[in-house]
């Protein structure tokens, strides 16, 4: 039986390139592509792929939050992060979210193929370029490194923070998350209070700095 994959990346050329390469491999097929995290979550639910290749910096819902939702709803789906970030914070947060693998975007395609086969076999695959970083973090050599996002934020608050940083209005956020405008505004105010930030500009700067959304 073929390994069925969904590719989640906001760059179309990246998805098309990966699809072309993956479909040349025996025993693998791409069954879907997602340009944002929320679509990736929906595809995981509808298509039930074996593996999802997930960019971290996705719009609407970032790859970490999308992975957290996917693995909690469908534990059998394996997620491989494919990211430009080698910082241990991102690796750790993706693994905590339930990812089974983490590769850098400058890795050779053969490494992604190995990772797909490894996670399908129930193993965890980390790119050699990030393995030492993870070990160092585990041993506490970087005590000053903080999580990608404040652990005090709820999942919904993290979603709202990303959407605010992407310039969405309160009404747009409410529509996207299927909540009332009042609830959306309450979440935004709680995020600002917890992070001790006072303006949308500060929220945006924080989200960009932490890799939650692109500049």
155-209 has the same fold as 3-138: no
CATH number of 3-138: 3.40.50.2300
Q: How far is CA 149 from CA 81, 132, 182, in A?
A: 17, 22, 24
pLDDT score for 137 = 60
Helices within 139-196 (DSSP H only): 155-165, 170-177, 181-195
Percentage with pLDDT > 70 across the chain: 88
Judge if pTM exceeds 0.85: no
Model confidence over 66-111: pLDDT tens digits?
A: 999 999 999 999 999 998 887 777 888 898 899 999 999 888 899 9
Query: Dihedral sign, CA of 86, 14, 9, 67?
Result: negative
Domain range 155-209, its CATH number among 1.10.10.10, 2.40.50.140, 3.40.50.300, 3.30.70.270: 1.10.10.10
Instruction: Kindly list the domain boundaries of the chain, sorted by start residue.
Output: 3-138, 155-209
Percentage with pLDDT > 90 across the chain: 53
């Amino acid at each position: 039986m073929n390994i069925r994959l969904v590719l989640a990346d906001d760059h179309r050329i990246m998805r098309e390139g990966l699809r072309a390469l993956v479909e040349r491999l025996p025993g693998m097929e791409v069954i879907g592509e997602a340009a944002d995290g929320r679509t990736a979550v929906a595809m995981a639910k509808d298509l039930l792929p074996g593996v999802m290749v997930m960019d971290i910096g996705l719009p609407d819902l970032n790859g970490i939050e999308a992975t957290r939702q996917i693995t909690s709803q469908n534990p059998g789906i394996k997620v491989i992060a494919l990211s430009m970030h080698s910082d241990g914070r991102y690796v750790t947060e993706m693994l905590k979210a339930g990812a089974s693998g983490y590769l850098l975007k400058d890795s050779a395609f053969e490494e992604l193929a190995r990772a797909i086969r490894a996670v399908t076999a129930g193993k965890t695959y980390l790119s050699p370029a990030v393995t030492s970083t993870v070990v160092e973090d585990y041993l506490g050599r970087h005590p000053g490194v903080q999580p990608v996002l404040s652990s005090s934020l709820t999942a919904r608050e993290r979603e709202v923070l990303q959407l605010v940083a992407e310039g969405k209005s309160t009404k747009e956020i409410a529509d996207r998350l299927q909540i009332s405008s009042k609830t959306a505004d309450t979440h935004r105010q709680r995020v600002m209070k917890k992070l001790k930030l006072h303006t949308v500009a500060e929220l945006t700067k924080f989200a960009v700095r932490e890799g939650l959304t692109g500049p």
